[in-house]
Chain A
Amino acid sequence: MPTVPTRPPEENTPDEMLLQRISQGDRASLEVLFGKYRDAAFRVARRLLSSEADAMDAVQDGFIKALRNLDGFENRSSFKTWLMRIVSNASLDLGRQKKRRDTRRIRGEEGSEILDDVAGVSEDPLAGLDFADLRADLDEALSRLPEAQRQTFVLHVDGEMSYREVADTLNISIGTVMSRLFYARQKLKVLLASRLSS
């Protein structure tokens, strides 16, 4: 019978302690850990995917995988970077699968190769408002970046991760993070030039 600690966890309880308690079946610790990282994980997934439902799936699946495979984590980095690696990779995978499915569907229905704008479909209830337009433009521009640049950019900007954390998450050097970010932004600047000038 596992022993569950009686003292309730707090937001500032170290992740290592939360993980230990979770492994003993402590639901309250899981709730604290989930609350700490769910927003950042969702923002990353949402920016890499085009629908809120898919982003929620990626976050949910990411937490489950991260917690079930802690032996792959082995405290080599923080739980946050371990989680974000899983969530961002899962989001990219899901995005690729969805794009392929949508492309096939459009090919089948139209008999032509309409490949553009598939990833830009949004289920956002705010569609039509200015911010939603801005988001759609930015998402469209981001979808044109190489995947590695896009993932690095989104982890830093939407995941609010430091260069060090992004480097740990993607297992790359800080120099590579800097380089990817610089070139990603230069491309975004060009792609969104008309939007920014207005």
Chain B
Amino acid sequence: MNRSSVPLDALPDPDSDPTLYERLAALADGELSPAAAAQMSEWLREHPESTDDFRAQHEFGPSSDLMRLSRAPLPSSVAWDRAFAEIAVAVLAAPGSSVRPSAVPTRPADDHFRAPRWMLLTATTGIAACVALLVGLGLNAPNRLPDGGSVDRFLPDDERIVLAMNDEIEFHSLPEDARAYLPLGRYPISGAIVLANASEVEHHRSEPITGSPPARLDVPGEASETPLIWIPPHQP
């Protein structure tokens, strides 16, 4: 029997069923159909040596006392209210907006390392200004990569987020302290950005692309911190 397509209502002969013990687990969880459950129960009665296995499956099931009592208490209503308020602000702030800014986890009140709000605003403005400047100066002529290619081939239209167009940004004033945060006139990143290390990437399968040479994937050791997905540094 194909392991990946075990139906919960199937009635295979238990003595020749390679998924017998998985079905025992399903019996303990009450997931089998009535007919299949009756069949497995009958088999269990005929094979008392498997009772311990069945008991273990039940003991670590959702309805067992062991699992129920070992659950951590739920947060207080105050904590839930605070979390909901943060979610509401993030989700309802701009209903219907086509812009999908990344969701950043927030921890209220006790985070001593949170940057002042003005720094965040300044940094955002700085990035937007940088984009505008690059557009204005023609330095980013259409999304060129170091190898002369275009990011268009990597980023589908719906995954690009336009922060602002060059004619949508205007500076009125800038605090003295904030100027250092504006990387005006040059690309703000000097090195590679590591998006994931080898230990964070799980390779399931590779599929060849028609007409292309076969890809080679060198995966370092499991505990390696070697960058595996990365963006090359910008080379103007």
Contact = CB atoms under 8 A, between A and B. Distances in A.
Given A60-B106, A131-B70, A178 B56 contact: no
Contact of B87 (A2, A43, A63, A196): A63
B230 interface: no
Contacts of A55: 72
A107 interface: no
Given A69-B100, A157-B61, A176-B4, A23 B19 contact: no
A134 interface: yes
Contacts of A178: 6, 19, 22-23, 25-26
Nearest to B90: A64
A68 B100 contact: yes
B19 A156 contact: no
B96 interface: yes
Contacts of A176: 3-4
B92 interface: yes
A30 B105 contact: no
Given A38-B83, A176-B3, 16 more contacts: A38-B80, A46-B72, A64-B90, A68-B101, A96-B200, A134-B66, A135-B71, A153-B60, A158-B71, A160-B62, A163-B31, A178-B6, A182-B21, A182-B22, A186-B53, A196-B59
8 contacts: A30-B91, A34-B84, A61-B103, A96-B200, A135-B71, A153-B60, A156-B29, A186-B53
Lowest 8 CB-CB distances: which A-B pairs, in order?
A25-B95, A178-B22, A61-B105, A175-B6, A64-B103, A189-B56, A182-B25, A173-B4
Interface of B: 2-8, 19, 21-26, 29, 31, 53, 56-57, 59-62, 66-67, 69-75, 79-80, 83-84, 86-88, 90-92, 95-96, 100-101, 103-107, 158, 199-200
